Amino acid sequence: MKILIVKLSSLGDVVHTMPAVQDIRRCVPQASIDWVVERGFAPLVARCEGAAEAIPCELRRWSRNPLSHETRAEWRTFRQRLRSVRYDAVIDLQGLTKSALVARAARTTEGGKRFAMANRTDGASYEAPTRWVADVAIKLEPRVHAVQRAREICARALGYDIPSPLRFGLRASAAGRTNAVCLVHGTSRDDKCWPAANWLALGRRLIAQGHTLALPHGNDEELARSEAMARELGDAAQVWPRLDLGALTDRLATCAGVIGVDSGLSHIAVALDLPHVQVYNFETAWRTGPFDTPHQRAVYAQPTPSLEAVWDAWESVRPRP
């Protein structure tokens, strides 16, 4: 049985889709699962257990110059690759026009079907063409966690009950654990950030606790912030080089824990099952945050959680000798 997952972006959304792939592996063991994803996230999908092939596309870049010769040529190449396989099920987990375009371009077997969401869920983006393209549109409860939404769509499309326990199946090549705590201070929106003074105070407490600090970055602004924090915190703080998602996942997996804002890298920490505190300035942890476990917590407050609230959460999840 050949199944195609369409989940193109963003980083957090890609991570939240991984448990659905693990469910399919467990409940439809004869299935071979391909996954269409934006090229930048393909190294992460390649590390997802059960994903037979990560099929990269570049719809974000193509949309900037849709009629250029280069875009048309690259789209033809992508479409030819996509249509080289016939799928028994094409499952659009994105719910947008661009994902509907990909789902429509894929070929199905005789009797194969395209599945998609029938409605918007709270806080999630949704566009009607995904429903128009689908052979089967699956109606969902409006208030649902992003992980559960993907799991439910796949379960109902393929006819199985959602299994337990939840697994992400994200593989990492990590040579043991260090005592480093990764501080994920960068995110896609400024209003999701945590104050710099809080990061510095937190960093000093972690150093006093015996930890070193890892400071990642994904762009020049985050690099400048990491370097400024390292200057204040001294030799115990290390600025990581900029890494692709595969190498970044491997390095993150060596950490003793992660404290971060609502960002893709924090979601990777959840998938790696690391001790983790995720900081929320908005009441959206119910939709994208970690499920409360003995070593993972979401902390929410407005305008932003206090240093003490984040520290108390860390104390509740941190690894003990």
The highest-confidence range among 84-88, 189-193, 291-295, by mean pLDDT, is 84-88
**Which domain, by its residues, includes 284?**
180-317
Q: What is the pLDDT of residue 175?
A: 73
Q: What is the pLDDT of residue 131?
A: 94
What does the pLDDT look like over 166-178, one tens digit per residue?
999 999 987 788 9
Q: Domain check: are 40 and 70 in the same one?
A: yes
Say whether pLDDT at 291 is over 90.
no
DSSP 266: H
Q: Using CA atoms in the order 60, 92, 41, 214, what is the torsion angle rounded to 10 degrees?
A: 120
Distance (Å, rounded) from C-alpha 121 to C-alpha 167?
23
DSSP 240: P
Q: Domain check: are 7 and 150 in the same one?
A: yes
Residue 167 lies in a domain: no
Residue 172 lies in a domain: no
Q: What is the pLDDT of residue 2?
A: 98
Residue 163 lies in a domain: no
Distance (Å, rounded) from C-alpha 2 to C-alpha 183?
40
What does the pLDDT look like over 75-89, one tens digit per residue?
999 999 999 999 999
For residue 158 the two structure tokens come to 């393929």
Q: Domain check: are 102 and 196 in the same one?
A: no
Residue 146 lies in a domain: yes
What does the pLDDT look like over 267-283, one tens digit per residue?
999 999 999 999 999 99
- For a pLDDT cut of 70, what percent of the chain falls above it? 100
Q: Domain check: are 72 and 11 in the same one?
A: yes
Q: What is the pLDDT of residue 87?
A: 98
Per the prediction, the chain carries an average pLDDT of: 96
DSSP 294: T
Count of the separate structural domains present in the chain: 2
Scored b (16 or more CB within 10 A) or e, 274-288 reads bbbbbbbbbebbebb
3-state secondary structure of 113: strand
Q: Which long-range contacts (CB under 8 A, 24 or more apart) does 218-221 make?
A: 218/186, 218/242, 218/265, 219/186, 221/186
CATH number, residue 44 = 3.40.50.2000
Distances (CA, A) of 294 to 30, 38, 67: 34, 33, 52
Q: Are the beta carbons of 161 and 155 closer than 8 angstroms?
A: yes
Q: Domain check: are 185 and 150 in the same one?
A: no
3-state secondary structure of 66: coil
What does the pLDDT look like over 93-117, one tens digit per residue?
999 999 999 999 999 999 999 999 9
The whole-number average pLDDT for the span 42-47 is: 95
Residue 166 lies in a domain: no
Residue 164 lies in a domain: no
Which residue, 6, 308, 17, is CA-closest to 168?
Answer: 17
Q: Domain check: are 8 and 126 in the same one?
A: yes
Q: Domain check: are 308 and 202 in the same one?
A: yes
Residue 174 lies in a domain: no
Strand partners, 87: 108
Which residue, 226, 268, 266, is CA-closest to 246?
Answer: 268
Q: Domain check: are 211 and 261 in the same one?
A: yes
Q: Domain check: are 188 and 141 in the same one?
A: no
Residue 168 lies in a domain: no
Task: Specify the pTM.
Answer: 0.95
Q: Domain check: are 231 and 141 in the same one?
A: no
- For a pLDDT cut of 90, what percent of the chain falls above it? 95
Q: Domain check: are 8 and 138 in the same one?
A: yes
